[in-house]
Amino acid sequence: MAAIPLVDTHVHFHDMGHPRLRYSWLEPGAPVDEVTGPDAAIRAQRYWADDFLAETRFHNVAKVVHVQAAIGSEDPVEETRWLQAFADRLGAPHGIVAYADLARPDAAAVLARHAAFANLRGIRDLRYDGYLTDPDWHRGYAALERYGLVCCDDPAVEEMADARKLAERHPGVTLCVDHAGYPRRRDRAYFEEWRAGMRELAKAPNTVVKISGLGQADHRWTVSSLRPWVLECVEAFGAGRAFFGSNWPVDRLYSSYGDVVDAYAEIIAEFGESERHALFHGNAERIFRLGEGS
């Protein structure tokens, strides 16, 4: 167990039997992601907040942020409603990153409906369709500032310069780079390309990086294989703009929960105490406002 309390900033819950929520990525016959790999190991009927708390209770998890998972649902606000019920009953998740299609004309109205729930902290609009230069998407993105919402995003390496421009155009919105920029490969040439992209993106002071999900393209990872990616994230963004997440239960495909947390702790063991606390919980608590109404 890590000695420092962890704020886990990236978890997913699901309930395949929920009458108003759909999880298309977990349905039978869903395409296999070439990076993540087969996800049959997490296609249980449900994984609730209760299950996460039971699985992680010996790993010093202080708070948790849920990131949208009900992909394909007719009304994205139903997932926020469902998650807030867990928070009201169990105290977790402490923060909710919901879904909204920011390019839709009614994006602002959807954000307003999400914002009725106390633990809403951000939005993720997971897509790969040129959105970073789409004026309609920019309009929806700008509306995040009204509610103090973080945008969790997965810009591709070749789009990180556009992501920097987006962040600089909207200085009142924090852009969170999920999954350490979601590196798709682990060869040296790709690492250099990824590093250059991350350094470019980090030049915008309102960007932060979530170090999570690194098992997805490194299925047999070790502490040594994760180390350069973790350390480069901290080097690029600074110890005040980086924090950890697990991507649970997806990354259960590649390790146990304790393995992930202990790896993070070992990699930053030589950092100063204040930096270690910032990376494990302080930055996430500040950026996602986890002391407010959660």
**240 domain residue, yes or no:** yes
Averaged pLDDT for residues 91-113: 98
* CATH number of domain containing 198: 3.20.20.140
Residues 213-247: b if buried by 16+ CB within 10 A, e if exposed: bbbbbbeebeeeebeebbebbbebbbbbbbbbbbb
**292 domain residue, yes or no:** no
- Residue range 234-272, pLDDT digits in tens: 999 999 999 999 999 999 999 999 999 999 999 999 999
| Contact between residue 250 and residue 39 where contact means Cβ atoms under 8 Å apart | yes
Higher pLDDT, 237 or 31: 237
Tokens found for residue 270: 């030589």
- Residue range 5-19, pLDDT digits in tens: 999 999 999 999 999
pLDDT band at 89 (very low <50, low <70, confident <90, very high): very high
- Residue range 40-78, pLDDT digits in tens: 556 678 999 999 999 999 999 999 999 999 999 999 999
**294 domain residue, yes or no:** no
**184 domain residue, yes or no:** yes
**198 domain residue, yes or no:** yes
| Contact between residue 176 and residue 210 where contact means Cβ atoms under 8 Å apart | yes
**C-alpha span between 213 and 110 (Å, rounded):** 28
- How many domains does the chain contain in total? 1
pLDDT band at 32 (very low <50, low <70, confident <90, very high): confident
Tokens found for residue 28: 């039978």
| Contact between residue 261 and residue 226 where contact means Cβ atoms under 8 Å apart | no
**1 domain residue, yes or no:** no
**C-alpha span between 266 and 120 (Å, rounded):** 32
At residue 291, the pLDDT reads 85
**236 domain residue, yes or no:** yes
Range of the domain at 262: 6-287
Closest residue by Cα to residue 92 from 127, 55, 138: 55
**293 domain residue, yes or no:** no
pLDDT at 293 over 60: no
Tokens found for residue 133: 């230069």
The letter for the amino acid at 290 is L
The dihedral region occupied by 56, where left means phi > 0, alpha psi between -120 and 50, and beta the remainder, is: alpha
* Cα dihedral sign, 143-146-152-158: positive
